[in-house]
C-alpha cells in the first residue's frame, strides 16, 4: 500500500467564496488518473485522520497535482489547508482510489457530469478522455462558476445553476432535458441526490454509467469505515457484499451499487 509523504505547496488561490485551488508538488502525480484522490493530513496533529480531496488536474511534467476543494467550516482540516502558502509542506498519501475507466468512452457520445464539489474532478477527466462527443454538464449553486473557462477549452459545456443566474435553472438533469441532450456513456461525480437521479436516468435509458461516490468518504485511507455502501454482489451464502468507497471505489458502475 501507499506511504505517507511530504508534498510541497506550489501555489494556492481562492476561486470563489470558500472554494480553493491548491497546486502540490508530489510524487503521487506520476501515477495519478482522473477520478482518483489524494488523502491530505493536517500539519498540527489535531486530526489523526486525513481528508480525501479529489484530483482536479494532473501535471506529470512538473510532478504536480491541482486540488480544488471547499472549506467545510471553521476548525476543519479543509480550513487549515486553505491557509497553506507556497513553500509549505503537508503530509499526503496517494493517489488513492480507482478512477474512471476512460477506455469505456472510446468512440462514444459521452456526458461528463459534475455537481457542487464534484465539479473539480471532471476537469482532468475532460482533459484526458478520448470520446466521440464530449458533453460537459456541470451544476453550481450560483454565478460562481469556478473552472468554467478551463471546461470550455476541453469540450462542449452546459451549465446549470440552482438560482438560475447562469445556464439552466436547476440541476444537471434539468440541463440535459432543457437542451435535449443524450449520450451513450456517463461519468458523474457529485452529491448523492444528484448521483441517484443520474443512476435512475441511466438505468431507464440503458446508458453505461459510472459514478464517483467520493462524497461518502471520510478518511480516504480505509481506517474509519464511514464509507461502506451496499452492492448488488451476493455470495454463495446469499450474503450481500458491502464495499468501502475509499478502497473499492470511489468510482463504481452505477448498476453495481445501491445508493
Ligand atoms: Fe474511511 Fe473509507 S473513508 S474507511
pLDDT digits (tens), the chain, 259 positions: 789 999 999 999 999 999 999 999 999 999 999 999 999 999 887 778 999 999 999 999 999 999 999 999 998 999 999 999 999 999 999 999 999 999 999 999 999 999 998 999 999 999 999 999 999 999 999 999 999 999 999 999 999 999 999 999 999 999 999 999 999 999 999 999 999 999 999 999 999 999 999 989 999 999 998 999 988 877 777 677 789 999 999 999 999 998 8
Substitution site in 49, 212, 213, 246 for ligand 1 pocket (most atoms within 8 Å of beta carbon): 246
Interface ipTM > 0.85? yes
Residue 51 to residue 224: CA distance in whole angstroms:
11
Residue 16 CB–ligand 1 contact under 6 Å? no
Distance (angstroms) between ligand 1 centre and the Cα of 226 equals: 5
Output phi, psi for 76, to 5 deg: -100, 165
The Cα 43–Cα 46 span in angstroms is 8
pLDDT of amino acid 2: 84
Query: Which of 38, 227, 229, 250 to mutate for ligand 1's pocket (most ligand atoms within 8 Å of CB)?
Result: 227
Q: What's the CA-to-centroid distance between 182 and ligand 1, angstroms?
A: 34
CATH fit for domain 5-96, picks 3.40.50.720, 3.60.15.10, 2.40.30.10, 1.10.260.40: 2.40.30.10
Distance, in Å, from the CA atom of 230 to the CA atom of 67, rounded to the nearest integer, reads 29
191 touches ligand 1 (CB under 6 Å) = no
How far is residue 67's CA from residue 62's CA, in Å, rounded to a whole number?
A: 15
Alpha carbon of 27 to ligand 1 centroid (Å): 23
Q: Cell numbers at residue 19, please? A: 472554494
Q: How many other C-beta atoms lie within 10 A of the C-beta of residue 88?
A: 14
Looking at the domain 102-258, which fold is it?
Rossmann fold (3.40.50)
Reference 181, options 141, 147, 149, 137; nearest CA is 137
**Residue 233: how many other CB atoms lie within 10 Å:** 12
What does the pLDDT read at residue 177?
97
What the block records as the C-alpha cell of 40 is 491530505
Query: Where are the chain's structural domains?
Result: 5-96, 102-258
Distances (CA, A) of 202 to 12, 137, 210: 37, 15, 10
pLDDT of 46 reads 76
Task: Collect all residues with Cβ–Cβ distance below 8 Å to 171 and sequence separation of at least 6.
Answer: 115, 139, 160, 162, 194, 197
Q: What is the pTM of this model?
A: 0.95
Neighbours of 119 (CB within 10 A): 26
Amino acid at each position: 500500500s501507499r506511504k505517507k509523504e511530504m508534498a510541497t505547496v506550489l501555489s494556492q488561490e481562492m476561486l470563489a467564496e470558500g472554494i480553493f485551488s491548491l497546486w502540490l508538488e508530489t510524487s503521487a502525480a506520476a501515477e495519478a488518473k482522473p477520478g482518483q484522490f489524494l488523502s491530505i493530513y493536517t500539519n498540527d496533529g489535531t486530526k489523526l485522520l486525513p481528508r480525501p480531496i479529489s484530483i482536479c488536474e494532473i501535471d506529470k511534467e512538473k510532478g504536480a497535482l491541482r486540488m480544488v476543494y471547499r472549506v467545510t467550516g471553521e476548525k476543519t482540516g479543509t480550513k487549515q489547508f486553505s491557509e497553506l502558502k507556497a513553500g509549505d509542506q503537508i503530509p499526503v498519501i496517494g493517489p488513492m482510489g480507482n478512477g474512471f475507466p476512460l477506455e469505456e468512452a472510446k468512440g462514444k457520445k459521452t456526458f461528463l457530469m459534475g455537481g457542487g464539489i464534484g465539479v473539480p474532478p471532471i476537469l482532468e477527466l475532460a482533459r484526458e478522455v478520448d470520446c466521440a462527443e464530449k458533453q460537459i454538464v456541470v451544476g453550481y449553486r450560483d454565478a460562481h462558476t469556478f473552472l468554467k473557462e478551463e471546461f470550455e477549452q476541453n469540450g462542449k459545456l452546459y451549465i446549470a445553476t440552482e438560482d438560475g443566474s447562469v445556464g439552466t435553472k436547476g440541476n444537471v438533469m434539468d440541463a440535459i432535458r432543457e437542451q435535449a441532450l443524450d449520450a451513450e456513456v456517463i461519468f458523474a461525480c457529485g452529491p448523492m441526490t444528484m448521483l441517484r437521479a443520474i443512476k435512475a436516468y441511466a438505468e431507464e435509458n440503458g446508458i453505461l454509467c459510472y459514478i464517483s461516490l467520493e462524497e461518502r468518504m471520510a478518511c480516504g485511507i480505509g481506517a474509519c469505515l464511514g464509507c461502506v455502501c451496499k452492492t448488488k454482489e451476493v455470495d454463495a451464502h446469499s450474503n450481500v457484499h458491502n464495499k468501502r468507497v475509499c478502497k473499492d471505489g470511489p468510482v463504481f458502475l452505477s448498476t453495481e451499487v445501491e445508493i
